[in-house]
Amino acid sequence: MPLNRGNNMVTINKKVNKNKNETATQRKRRLEKAKEKYRTKRAKESEYETLSRLQKRRERLATETPEQHDTRLIAQRERQRQLVESETPERHESRLASQRERQRELIASETPERQESRLTLQRNRQRELLASETPEQHEARLSRRRERRKELEASETPEQRHNRLKYQRERAQKCRAKNHVQA
């Protein structure tokens, strides 16, 4: 999609609403307005309406065919890829921090039953993923993992390194204790 750059204005040659061209600024404002409208609608929603909406969504997802599922995931990945490509480093870091915070809040507020259910589901998904991957995919996944770990360890502060190693030791002790009890 070619962009025509002018004085602080980028025109996107994409047709929208009755053959009108839309500038990047106009598009941004339109999307922000839609996002704000969505947020206010969700904020006014009662708990019953929220549960009802989420239940309908779960039912719709449960009844979709594998082809529909794949198509939906491909479109979702493409939208996410486009968003990530266009974001600034500051916005990227902000998004990741926000995701981490939401995840921490969800995990902190879940019941032990819900936690066990989530962990079991994660283990099953991981098992299925690993069982279906080819040797090439396996090696590629491990290479990417090693590369990410090297990058993280190279950029961490001494305090972060200390905390990471402490966490690893504690986790290893828990695993050993759990395995000792089972044996």
* Residue 33 counted as domain residue: yes
* Residue 85 counted as domain residue: no
Share of residues in the chain with pLDDT > 90 (%)? 56
pLDDT in tens, 107-133: 899 899 999 999 999 999 999 988 999
* Residue 46 counted as domain residue: yes
pLDDT in tens, 54-92: 999 999 988 999 899 999 999 999 998 988 888 888 988
* Residue 52 counted as domain residue: yes
**12, exposed or middle or buried, with CB in 10 Å at 0-12, 13-18, 19+?**
middle
Does the pLDDT value for residue 3 go beyond 60?
A: no
* Residue 57 counted as domain residue: yes
* Residue 15 counted as domain residue: yes
Q: Which residues contact 10 (CB under 8 A, 6 or more apart)?
A: 3, 4, 23, 24, 25
- Residue 34's nearest CA partner among 16, 52, 21, 19 is 16
* Residue 155 counted as domain residue: no
How many structural domains is the chain composed of?
Answer: 1
DSSP string, 11-77: EEEEEETTTEEEEHHHHHHHHHHHHHHHHHHHHH--HHHHHHHHHHHHHHHHH--HHHHHHHHHHHH
- Average of pLDDT values for 25-30? 90
Q: Residue 41 belongs to what domain range?
A: 1-63
What pLDDT shows up at residue 180? 81
* Residue 159 counted as domain residue: no
Residue whose structure tokens are 């995931």: 73
